[in-house]
Amino acid sequence: MLVSTGYFYWTRGEMHYSKAAGFAKKIAELYPIDVTTDMRSWAKPRSIFCI
């Protein structure tokens, strides 16, 4: 869980199913899950991937 490692911003809500694919693409670009531990360590002090 990212909260335990200092990432405490999150997104929640509801949307129409027709917008789900576009939203998933946007979130994947803004919050990548496939970055390395080193990249997360670099990004956290800069508030990248967590806002």
pLDDT at residue 3 greater than cutoff 60 = no
Q: Where are the domains of the chain?
A: 19-51
Instruction: Record the tokens describing residue 4, joined without a space.
Output: 């335990």
The answer for residues whose C-beta is within 8 angstroms of residue 10's C-beta and 6 or more apart is: 3
pTM of model > 0.85: no
1 has a pLDDT exceeding 60: no
pLDDT digits (tens, 9 = 90+) for 4-45: 566 566 667 788 889 989 988 888 888 888 888 898 888 888
pLDDT value of residue 22? 92
Q: How far apart are CA 23 and CA 19, in angstroms?
A: 6
**Residue 37 CB-density burial (10 A; 0-12 exposed, 13-18 middle, 19+ buried):** exposed
Query: What are the backbone dihedrals phi and psi of residue 29, each rounded to the nearest 5 degrees, phi first?
Result: -75, -40
